[in-house]
Structure 1
């Protein structure tokens, strides 16, 4: 009888422990306040992204925000003029509440800037010769309705274009096949309005690199191989870059499935 009671007690303890552990990792609503580290005043319109759940939030006039999160999730905070910050979600942030997150203001050192305008004369034939030349080459094959930008004029550039045209599935598989976890986030990112609004106002690729866990050079490489021009890569906002990568990834999934 004693052995039976001991066994029951152990089972109850184990079930209780498992339930407690599950509650720690469950997604809950996390509320916190963002302030300036310099004066402890609340910061309005700070963007917060949960990199694990791929959802976003923004602080109200009192610096408060609420976002779905689980223990050990990573929050990424960005605000104009302040250093971006990553915060790891802990049990205490749920148990005690009133979590305060301080952002540090960036110190900019302004350097002397020398402006060298184009030497324009007003005569078109002369002025066009003074403008910088885009050295990227567009390649096309008769019968196809698309052209491909491959950078400098060289045999390797031509090979790159031919590979993209003749073997699109293999080319895209090399781009996305090694990054399944990162690419699966794309659809979630496109569905969250807060993330889309944030990316539409940014051009530095910093938030994208955090969300996709890619380097900037990887993002450029993907877009280059998906036939986006250098001018688009250089001038598009982060939301346009996200949509471009997502479109290319959807094409890869179709080709890979076939």
Structure 2
């Protein structure tokens, strides 16, 4: 009790008081912001609600710092010394990247236009390397089973007859057709990574697979992919994305603002 009385008396003599405050910000986590009195060499951090307490004197300076905010200095005036709770507004820190020049290849920064302008290296494939049997197409498991189901054994073609009766041939044909369609979709997703589809087409990452299926069932999509024209395919995806977002209530974020 005596020590507490002595400490309080010393604090009053030195003009020190405990300043209570609260951090506010439009965006960014206000927890763990460092609050430092650079004159008294004291420091603390904000709690979950952005609140803090720190010892100050008249004309001291507080410095607020965090990775997500711009550093701020707050001089302790007579008005602040008489304030029961001070509110400190912090501005978000935006890390601006240096300008990047894309002119060496005549790029515009628009993916749809730039894909055809980027020089590609020599295709490293079995055909390009001149390997033996490079022209032989590797069939899928479903295609192999379909071949077996429609091919005869010996002089009497029993397999085609039995499989036609049981409906297995029809099932295998449908499976081969589905695999062929899905293979086209996979090729398209190799052209454009998920982050590009999410950023440019405004399709949420969780909806990309559903969006690709939406494109896949369109007969024009299959013919478009077979052309291997990246610009035409991209234009098709841009058009389909507008209908997909409209049908699924995915409003453009820029329109929301």
* TM-score scaled by length of structure 2: 0.32
Higher relative contact order (CA 8 A, sep 6+): 1
Larger Rg: 2
* TM-score scaled by length of structure 1: 0.32
